[in-house]
Amino acid sequence: KNLLANRVKTLTPSSTLAITAKAKALKEQGIDVIGLGAGEPDFNTPQNILNAAIDSMEKGFTKYTPAGGLPVLKQAIIDKLQRDNNLTYKANEIIVGVGAKHILYTLFQVILNEGDEVIIPIPYWVSYPEQVKLAGGVPVYVEGTREQGYKITADQLRAAVTGKTKAVIINSPSNPSGMIYSREELAEIAAVAEEKDILIVSDEIYEKLVYNGIEHFSIAQLSAAVKARTIVVNGVAKSHSMTGWRIGYAAGNADIIKPMTDLASHSTSNATTTAQYATVEAYNGPQDTVEEMRQAFESRLEKIYPQVSAIPGFHVLKPQGAFYLLPDVAEAMAHTGYDSVDAFAAAILTEANVAVIPGSGFGAPTTMRLSYATSLELLEEAVRRIDAFVKSKW
């Protein structure tokens, strides 16, 4: 008898975590591996946030909170959305959950019926397709090519919509490409969403990591009508270097937020109370550490981008946000005798001792993702190693 549910039969583990585990195993054997797989900032959580967490525990705030989040945290999020994004929400339009990842999981559970389609731009964050499938939905992929800056166009979106389409996911700044949709591009996409009456899931987790003077713009800012069909998903993991605290949230129509909260009340209950208090401080406290971390990422990017571009057969667009580079390595693979990016990345790991994430997990199988959430010294050494590896096989 098969004891497993059908829904897990096609479930694949996160490719990001797989290579990281392999790199860790090599490190344990004493091999000096440089990991460029990281999906998290390499800074400590700022001290004022740690202090707020400790303070809340000492005051005895260690019990359950409402399933959808502490009122004081919802207010801090409401203030943040107003201050940073010029978006006005009420408390019943906010849910706090266990990281943006689980917020997205809950969202798809709430909006999808069996067979409903969700449009996912390629290259995508690994968890979107799996989460959609776990909710009974069907991922429909639309390719944002390198020539298009790894973004989809409104025409592509229109062509992909069917009678079963429920939503489109927009992740800007993007993991893995680091690209950002301009206000005009978002307006065109939103127009299609309105014309076709579909929801917009706007994953803005990398909002604070934008470079070259670019300002983040949320698609929900376009108009009240667009806001009404958009669920903004965000969190403090990347902005405040709080990945392990597991706090994320959604802001959107109360008709969607309410069942998400009800579902959370039967699955997670509230996100960890201490982490919620820490997040209150993250949003209400001083924001200078957020900017300092952003600047550190930007200066690394400025140094490392030309070096990665100079590796033979690597074609890489300059990212505008997040902390990833996504070189297209088709030419490098062709010249070094690898026919899949998984094999190429595996060889880079075992022969050059650098862990990179193959783009096959992002729907972009001629690319690989290099995270620059590590020190400049290690980054430069990693690039030297990859460069030497490619040249030795050319």
Stretch that binds ligand PLP, among 59-67, 78-86, 98-106, 115-123 (CB under 6 A): 98-106
Report 122-141 residues binding ligand PLP (CB under 6 A): 125
**Binding status of residue 99 toward ligand PLP by CB under 6 A:** yes
Q: By beta-carbon distance, which residue lies closest to ligand PLP?
A: 99
Q: Quick one: 84 or 203, whose CB is closer to ligand PLP?
A: 203
Per rule CB under 6 A, count of chain residues that contact ligand PLP: 13
Q: Quick one: 50 or 388, whose CB is closer to ligand PLP?
A: 50
Between CA 235 and CA 239 the distance in angstroms is: 8
Q: How far is CA 206 from CA 284, 374, 384, in A?
A: 19, 17, 28
Least distance in Å: CB of 39 to ligand PLP? 4
Write the interaction track for ligand PLP spanning residues 237-276; mark x where CB under 6 A is met and - where it is not: x-----x----x----------------------------
How many beta carbons lie within 10 A of that of residue 32, not counting itself?
9
Report 15-34 residues binding ligand PLP (CB under 6 A): none
Query: Which of 235, 358, 361, 363 forms a contact with ligand PLP (CB under 6 A)?
Result: 235
**Binding status of residue 207 toward ligand PLP by CB under 6 A:** no
Least distance in Å: CB of 313 to ligand PLP? 27
Query: Which of 65, 171, 273, 320 forms a contact with ligand PLP (CB under 6 A)?
Result: 171
Work out the burial of residue 162: count CB atoms within 10 Å of its CB; fewer than 13 is exposed, 13-18 middle, 19 or more buried.
Answer: exposed
Between CA 308 and CA 6 the distance in angstroms is: 43
**Binding status of residue 203 toward ligand PLP by CB under 6 A:** yes
Which stretches of 23-173 are assigned E, i.e. beta strand?
A: 34-35, 94-97, 117-122, 138-143, 165-171
Q: How far is CA 353 from CA 30, 241, 300, 340, in A?
A: 11, 26, 21, 18
Least distance in Å: CB of 38 to ligand PLP? 10
Q: Give the residue from 356, 349, 346, 375 showing the smallest Cα distance to 314.
A: 356
Q: How far is CA 102 from CA 26, 234, 322, in A?
A: 30, 11, 20
For binding to ligand PLP (CB under 6 A), which residues are involved? 39, 99-101, 125, 171, 175, 203, 205, 235, 237, 243, 248
